[in-house]
């Protein structure tokens, strides 16, 4: 299960906007530099966020991007979906569209459970939470377990 560069970049760009405040706007170039993201690549991602209604843009001298809604009303899951498609997919199709036979039949509810558990986190945590470094308690308790940081 891999999270693509697009998704990662999109979230980080949105976090910069969240940190800047709902009414200040940032230029793509400034975000790119702050987060070490290739500028033109980021422009494409910001275009997706705009078309997805998460961000509004302004051209010209005092232009830039800002969040379309308050940062505490935008869950991380929304950013990832808009920039990169479905949160979780198996072979490119979403879990409910799969079908398995024989001893693999229970694989479907298993993938559903995995997706539900991913959603529980990414759907609950908002841009404001991460930007302010104030993750919800249940997420923190997951991340605080030293076991969770070990490799295999």
- Distance from the Cα of residue 134 to its chain's centroid: 17
Bridge partners for 75 per DSSP: 126
Exposure on the CB side of residue 77, measured as CA atoms within 13 A? 15
- CB 20, min distance to DNA, A: 12
Tokens 């001893």 sit at which residue? 103
Nearest to 14 by CA among 127, 102, 109: 127
Cβ–Cβ under 8 Å, residues 51 and 43: no
Residue 146, binding choice from DNA, a copy of itself, none, Cβ under 5 to 8 Å by partner class: none
In this structure, the number of other CB atoms found within 10 A of the CB of residue 67 comes to: 22
CA angle 68, 69, 73 (to 5 degrees): 145
117 binds a copy of itself (CB under 8 A): yes
**24 is an interface residue for DNA by CB under 7 A:** no
Q: Is 5 in the site for a copy of itself (CB under 8 A)?
A: yes
Binding mask 50-89 for DNA (x = CB under 7 A): x------xxxxxxxxx------------------------
Report if residue 146 touches a copy of itself, rule: CB under 8 A: no
- Which does residue 130 bind out of a copy of itself, DNA, none, counting CB within 5 to 8 angstroms by kind? a copy of itself
Q: Which one of the spans 15-23, 44-52, 55-63 is the region binding a copy of itself (CB under 8 A)?
A: 15-23
From the CB of 22, what's the least distance to a copy of itself, in Å?
A: 14
């Amino acid at each position: 299960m891999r999270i693509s560069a697009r998704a990662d970049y999109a979230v980080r760009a949105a976090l910069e906007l969240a940190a800047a405040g709902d009414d200040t706007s940032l230029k793509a170039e400034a975000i790119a530099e702050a987060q070490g993201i290739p500028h033109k690549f980021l422009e494409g991602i910001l275009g997706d966020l705009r078309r997805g209604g998460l961000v509004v843009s302004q051209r010209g001298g005092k232009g830039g991007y800002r969040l379309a809604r308050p940062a505490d009303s935008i869950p991380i899951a929304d950013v990832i979906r808009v920039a990169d498609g479905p949160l979780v997919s198996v072979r490119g199709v979403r879990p409910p569209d799969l079908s398995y036979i024989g001893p693999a039949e229970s694989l479907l509810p298993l993938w559903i459970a995995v997706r539900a558990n991913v959603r529980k986190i990414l759907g609950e945590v908002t841009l404001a939470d991460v930007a302010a470094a104030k993750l919800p308690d249940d997420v923190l308790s997951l991340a605080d377990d030293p076991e969770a940081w070990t490799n295999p």
